[in-house]
Amino acid sequence: MRTFFPLPDVAPLAADNPFAAQSALPLHYPPFDRIRDADFRPAFEAGMALQRTEIDAIARDSAAPTFDNTVVAMERSGLLLHRVQTVFSNINAAHTDPEKQKIEAEMAPRLSAHRDAIYLDEALFARVRTLYESAPALHLDVESGQLLIRAYTQFVRAGAALFDADKATLRELNITLSMLTTTFQQNVLKETNAAAVLVDDAKQLDGLSEPQVAAASLAAQARGLDGRWLIAMQNTTTQPALAQLTDRALRQRIYERSSVRNIGGEFDNTTVIADIVRLRAERARLLGYPNHAAWVLDDETAGSTAAVDGMLSQLGAPAMANAKREAADIQGLIDQQAASSGTASFTLEPWDWAFYAEQVRAQRYAFDDAQVRPYFELEHVLQDGVFHAAQQLYGVSFAERTDLPVYQPDVRVFDVIDRDGSLLGLFLADFYARDSKRGGAWMNAYVLQSQLFSMKPVIANHLNIPKPLPGQPTLLTFAQVTTMFHEFGHALHGLFSNVRFPSLSGTSVPRDFVEYPSQYNEMWAQDPQVLANYARHYQTHEPLPQDLFEKVLAATRFGQGFATTEYIAAATLDQRWHQLDVGQTPDADGVVAFETDALKETGFDFAPVAPRYRSTYFSHIFSGGYSAGYYAYLWSDVLATDTEQWMKNHGGLLRANGDLIREKVLSRGRSADVLSMFRDFYGRDRDIGPLLESRGLVLAEPADS
pLDDT, tens digit (0-9, with 9 covering 90-100), for 233-242: 988 999 999 9
Q: What is the pLDDT of residue 7?
A: 45
Is the pLDDT at 2 greater than 70? The verdict is: no
The predicted model gives 423-427 an average pLDDT of 98
Q: Which residues contact 407 (CB under 8 A, 6 or more apart)?
A: 32, 35, 91, 94, 95
- Interval 81-115: pLDDT, tens: 999 999 999 999 999 999 999 999 999 999 999 99
Higher pLDDT, 699 or 108: 108
Nearest CA to 208 out of 167, 254, 266, 168 is that of 254
List the domain boundaries for the chain.
Answer: 26-161, 195-259, 377-534
CATH of the domain spanning 377-534, picked from 2.60.40.420, 3.30.365.10, 3.40.1010.20, 1.10.1370.40: 1.10.1370.40
Q: How far is Cα 299 from Cα 695, in angstroms, rounded to an integer?
A: 28
Q: Which residues contact 439 (CB under 8 A, 6 or more apart)?
A: 188, 189, 192, 233, 234, 235, 236, 464, 619
Q: What H or E segment, with its residue span, contains residue 451?
A: none
- Interval 150-159: pLDDT, tens: 999 999 999 9
In this structure, are residues 449 and 498 in contact, taking their beta carbons and an 8 Å threshold?
yes
Q: How far is Cα 431 from Cα 474, in angstroms, rounded to an integer?
A: 10
Q: Report the Cα–Cα distance between both ends of the chain, in Å, rounded.
A: 59
Query: Three-class SS of residue 631?
Result: coil
Q: How far is CA 690 from CA 249, 308, 619, in A?
A: 41, 19, 30
Q: How far is Cα 312 from Cα 296, in angstroms, rounded to an integer?
A: 17
The predicted model gives 617-630 an average pLDDT of 96
Is the pLDDT at 5 greater than 50? The verdict is: no
Nearest CA to 354 out of 242, 480, 478 is that of 242
The predicted model gives 178-187 an average pLDDT of 98
Q: Which residues contact 478 (CB under 8 A, 6 or more apart)?
A: 369, 372, 376, 525, 552, 556
The predicted model gives 364-376 an average pLDDT of 87
The predicted model gives 599-616 an average pLDDT of 96
Q: What is the pLDDT of residue 367?
A: 77
Is the pLDDT at 696 greater than 90? The verdict is: no
Query: Three-class SS of residue 671?
Result: coil
Strand locations in 317-389 (E): none
Q: What average pLDDT does the chain have?
A: 94
Q: What H or E segment, with its residue span, contains residue 461?
A: strand 458-465
Q: How far is Cα 234 from Cα 189, in angstroms, rounded to an integer?
A: 10
In this structure, are residues 444 and 494 in contact, taking their beta carbons and an 8 Å threshold?
no
Active-site residue numbers?
Answer: 487
Q: How far is Cα 609 from Cα 588, in angstroms, rounded to an integer?
A: 25
Q: Half-sphere exposure of 58 toward its Cβ, with a 13 Å CA cutoff?
A: 28
Q: What is the pLDDT of residue 698?
A: 65
Burial of 422 (0-12, 13-18, 19+ CB in 10 A): exposed
Q: What is the pLDDT of residue 91?
A: 97
Q: What is the pLDDT of residue 699?
A: 57
Is the pLDDT at 368 greater than 80? The verdict is: no
Q: How far is Cα 520 from Cα 382, in angstroms, rounded to an integer?
A: 17
Our separate counts of H helices and E strands in the chain read: 28, 7
Is the pLDDT at 342 greater than 90? The verdict is: yes
In this structure, are residues 617 and 262 in contact, taking their beta carbons and an 8 Å threshold?
yes
Q: How far is Cα 172 from Cα 282, in angstroms, rounded to an integer?
A: 11
Q: If pLDDT is split at 50, 70 and 90, which confidence band does 3 have? A: very low
Q: Which residues contact 64 (CB under 8 A, 6 or more apart)?
A: none
Is the pLDDT at 701 greater than 50? The verdict is: no
Between strands 458-465 and 442-447, the pairing is: antiparallel
Could you give the angle at the alpha carbon of 666 between the alpha carbons of 128 and 476, nearest 5°? 125
Backbone angles phi, psi at 670, to 5 degrees: -115, 35
Q: How far is Cα 246 from Cα 678, in angstroms, rounded to an integer?
A: 47
Q: How far is Cα 639 from Cα 405, in angstroms, rounded to an integer?
A: 38
Q: If pLDDT is split at 50, 70 and 90, which confidence band does 559 have? A: confident
Domains 26-161 and 377-534 share a fold: no
Q: How far is Cα 180 from Cα 185, in angstroms, rounded to an integer?
A: 9
Q: Say if pTM beats, i.e. exceeds, 0.75.
A: yes
Q: Which residues contact 558 (CB under 8 A, 6 or more apart)?
A: 326, 329, 357, 360, 361, 364, 365
In this structure, are residues 467 and 410 in contact, taking their beta carbons and an 8 Å threshold?
yes
- Interval 39-72: pLDDT, tens: 999 999 999 999 999 999 999 999 999 999 999 9
Q: If pLDDT is split at 50, 70 and 90, which confidence band does 363 have? A: confident
Q: What is the pLDDT of residue 126?
A: 98
Q: If pLDDT is split at 50, 70 and 90, which confidence band does 692 have? A: confident
Q: If pLDDT is split at 50, 70 and 90, which confidence band does 10 have? A: low
Q: How far is Cα 393 from Cα 654, in angstroms, rounded to an integer?
A: 5
Q: What distance lies between CA 135 and its chain's CA centroid?
A: 35
The predicted model gives 345-365 an average pLDDT of 93
Q: What is the pLDDT of residue 370?
A: 83
Q: How far is Cα 148 from Cα 645, in angstroms, rounded to an integer?
A: 35
Q: Would you tell me how many other CB atoms lie within 10 Å of the CB of residue 224?
A: 6
In this structure, are residues 604 and 565 in contact, taking their beta carbons and an 8 Å threshold?
yes
Is the pLDDT at 193 greater than 70? The verdict is: yes
Nearest CA to 537 out of 694, 376, 306 is that of 376
| Torsion angle defined by CA atoms of residues 292, 295, 296 and 299, in that order, rounded to the nearest 10 degrees | 180
Q: What is the pLDDT of residue 542?
A: 96
Q: What is the pLDDT of residue 695?
A: 79
Secondary structure (DSSP) of 11-63: PPPPTTSTTSS---SGGG---TTT--HHHHHHHHHHHHHHHHHHHHHHHT--S
Q: Would you tell me how many other CB atoms lie within 10 Å of the CB of residue 669?
A: 30
Q: If pLDDT is split at 50, 70 and 90, which confidence band does 704 have? A: very low
In this structure, are residues 162 and 286 in contact, taking their beta carbons and an 8 Å threshold?
yes
Q: What distance lies between CA 149 and its chain's CA centroid?
A: 26
Nearest CA to 392 out of 580, 529, 213, 567 is that of 529
Is the pLDDT at 202 greater than 70? The verdict is: yes
Q: What is the pLDDT of residue 211?
A: 86
Q: How far is Cα 148 from Cα 493, in angstroms, rounded to an integer?
A: 23
Q: Say which CATH superfamily domain 26-161 falls into.
A: Endopeptidase. Chain P; domain 1 (1.20.1050.40)
Q: If pLDDT is split at 50, 70 and 90, which confidence band does 703 have? A: very low
Q: If pLDDT is split at 50, 70 and 90, which confidence band does 443 have? A: very high
User: What is the Cα Rg of the chain in Å?
Assistant: 26
Q: Which amino acid is at 396?
A: V
Q: How far is Cα 349 from Cα 263, in angstroms, rounded to an integer?
A: 21
Q: How far is CA 219 from CA 61, 213, 373, in A?
A: 59, 10, 22
Is the pLDDT at 677 greater than 50? The verdict is: yes
User: With pLDDT > 90 as the criterion, what percentage of the chain qualifies?
Assistant: 89
